[in-house]
Structure 1
Amino acid sequence: MKFSTGLTQIEIAIEHLVVAGWTGRDHASVQHHIDELSEIGVAPPSMTPLFYRVSSSLLTQADVVQVLGVETSGEAEPFLVTHGGKFWLGLASDHTDRELEATSVAASKQACAKVCATAVWDFDHVRDHTDQMQLRSWIKENGEWVLYQDGHLEQILPLATLGSQIENVDQSAMLCGTLPAIGDVRPAAEFRAELVDPVLENRIELQYRSEWLESIR
């Protein structure tokens, strides 16, 4: 998998992939996310945060991903990669099967591709101001892009703390948790997101769509 660092390209063969869940820094925000998922039948977690090991083959930079059903949607998440003995920060979407999630969160994490952007930042260069970074996502509804998530990384547990789960395992990656949805958590076939660094005036973007396998002719 190739990533642009702004100055050069690095190629990383991701061998271990982790999806972190329930990583909100504020208990009330975590409970809000638990409550919004409970409305679609998702059981509350046994503890927070939780770390789900999923197949590294799920990670992709494709513009189109295939899904088993129409009840799926993305979630914007900061994305940490270990390579060369250091962290790199990017952006990813934890695309999730919402119908399966009501039965098993762990299984739902394994059921869909995880889409990551093609750019990363040297974490050492941004470590001191990650809390100021803005994370946003949009979904397409009725042909229009609708703001779906909007917040700052200060709402998520410190990335260095979350990354400690993988920092000693090179060629690893972690999706570091998400922000509450604006409105209900709901399926959407088209998704885009951005991570904005207001200090260094940089941004990372991703956009993709999902195709229901049954609809392909």
Structure 2
Amino acid sequence: MVKKPIYSITPFTLLDYPDHTACILWFAGCNMRCGYCYNPEIVTGKGKVSFEEVLSFLQKRKNLLDGVVFSGGECTMHQDLPWYASEVKSLGMKVKIDTNGSRPHVLENLIYGNLVDYIALDFKALPQDFDKITKSDFFDQFKESLEVLLGCQVPFEVRTTVHSELISKEKISEMAAFLRDQGYKGKYFLQHFVGEKETINTLPHSKKPNFAITDYPELGIVWRN
């Protein structure tokens, strides 16, 4: 067990878990290196908070928080994640997982162990751009994670960070078509990159695409910002 898996805690959020009050646990480490990532200190840094400290924090907020968001970094890299989730659930709180989809078997174990209540799956890019954007080769694993989620009853969303120099509106349309063809019928959330913080790579200014996709109404494409 990693003694200090958590980089930091955001004690309260109304934005990160739909319709729930929550806190965010930022798990240290990630197996991708997306240039637009605004958490480079979490991705490359080491944990500072033990899970015992997390539980102590949560015990004091049992009547204030509905749920806990496991984010990062990439929380599914941590082998003790099922135990962490079970401890949160034992407090009567719900668990949301933010993931890049690189470890589908972990998601499957959490789902079938009834240890997760909501999942946000990051759709980084299609295969031709995946390596360039993430500096990794996990597209097949992402696709498998999507298939796992499509086959279960746990509510989930798919989301994409959009930087105009990396993902054009044509590519967004192709990504939406991919999701539709896989059988995804939920909302597809687009998050425009806003360069207000230090990122892993220095990137040029991103211009938010000014368009509305109407070809895929079953996806309910939504800009979050």
TM tier, shorter chain?
under 0.3
Larger gyration radius, structure 1 or structure 2 = 2
**TM-score of the aligned structures, taking structure 1 as reference length:** 0.26
**More relative contact order, 1 or 2 (CA 8 Å, 6+ apart):** 1
More helix by share: 2
More strand by share: 1
